[in-house]
Structure 1
């Protein structure tokens, strides 16, 4: 398993999310500036709704930027136990503890990226190959760790 390429793929996905959110914020701000009207309350309500949307997008962007900063700290060096930055193979699938960006496909392998705060990651944190854990009554065996 080439963990460096998996790490690069996750970093790229996060960068794409950052760029997309920045673009959406810029577009929403531009439309907020374009809503000049003499309609009184309707105008203020529309402006407030746009401002709330900008605030929501900004919160999402801040979370993604936080994930991006966490990703910069991760290494592609092999791990001997489950920890942040570990790529884990269980009898149920492949998991990469990094940032939660969903499933990625690398070299025909489906890898689920999960945050270190996810219940699944917490359940297997610190474990080594051969150990078992359970989440939601589903038992899994750790087969390999990279």
Structure 2
């Protein structure tokens, strides 16, 4: 498994999300400026709702920017113990320990990109090949580690 290629896919996906969020913020701000009218309280309520939407988008953007920055410290060398940058195969699936991103596909294989702060990430952290973990009453055996 080429972890550098997988890391590039993750970086690209995060960059796409960042670009989309930036575009949405820009479009929402533009629409907010276009809705100025003399409707009084109704206008102010509408403006406040749009501002809340912009704030929510900004929070998501900041989280994705932080995630992209945290990828810069990932070591793509082979790991003996699971940590940041580990690619882990259990009997339940493939997991890349990096940031919370969800599922990606690499060479027709589904890989779940999870953070070290997720319940599964915490359970896997520090383990090695052939170790077992138990999460939500489900046991998983670590079959391979890159």
Q: TM-score range by the shorter chain?
A: over 0.9
Secondary structure of 2:57's aligned partner:
helix
Separation in 2 of the partners of 1:22 and 1:73?
24
Separation in 2 of the partners of 1:65 and 1:39?
38
- C-alpha deviations, 1:45-97, integer Å up to 9, x for none? 11111000000000010111111111111122111111011000111110001
Aligned residue number for residue 98 of structure 2: 98
Aligned residue number for residue 69 of structure 2: 69
1:119 aligns with 2:122: no
**Structure 2 matches for 1:1-146, cutoff 5 A?**
1-146=1-146
TM-score, normalised relative to structure 1: 0.98
Q: Which runs of 4+ in 1 moved over 6 A?
A: none
Separation in 1 of the partners of 2:70 and 2:121?
15
Q: After TM superposition, give the deviation of residue 101 of structure 1 in Å.
A: 1.4
Name whichever of 7-16 and 71-80 sits farther off: 71-80
Separation in 2 of the partners of 1:130 and 1:13?
31
Secondary structure of 1:47's aligned partner:
helix
Q: After TM superposition, give the deviation of residue 140 of structure 1 in Å.
A: 0.5
Separation in 2 of the partners of 1:7 and 1:84?
12
- C-alpha deviations, 1:92-128, integer Å up to 9, x for none? 1100011121111111111111011000010111011
Name whichever of 72-81 and 29-38 sits farther off: 72-81
- C-alpha deviations, 1:13-68, integer Å up to 9, x for none? 00000000000000000011111100100111111110000000000101111111
Q: Which runs of 5+ in 2 are unaligned?
A: none
Q: What's the RMSD between the two structures over aligned residues? A: 0.7
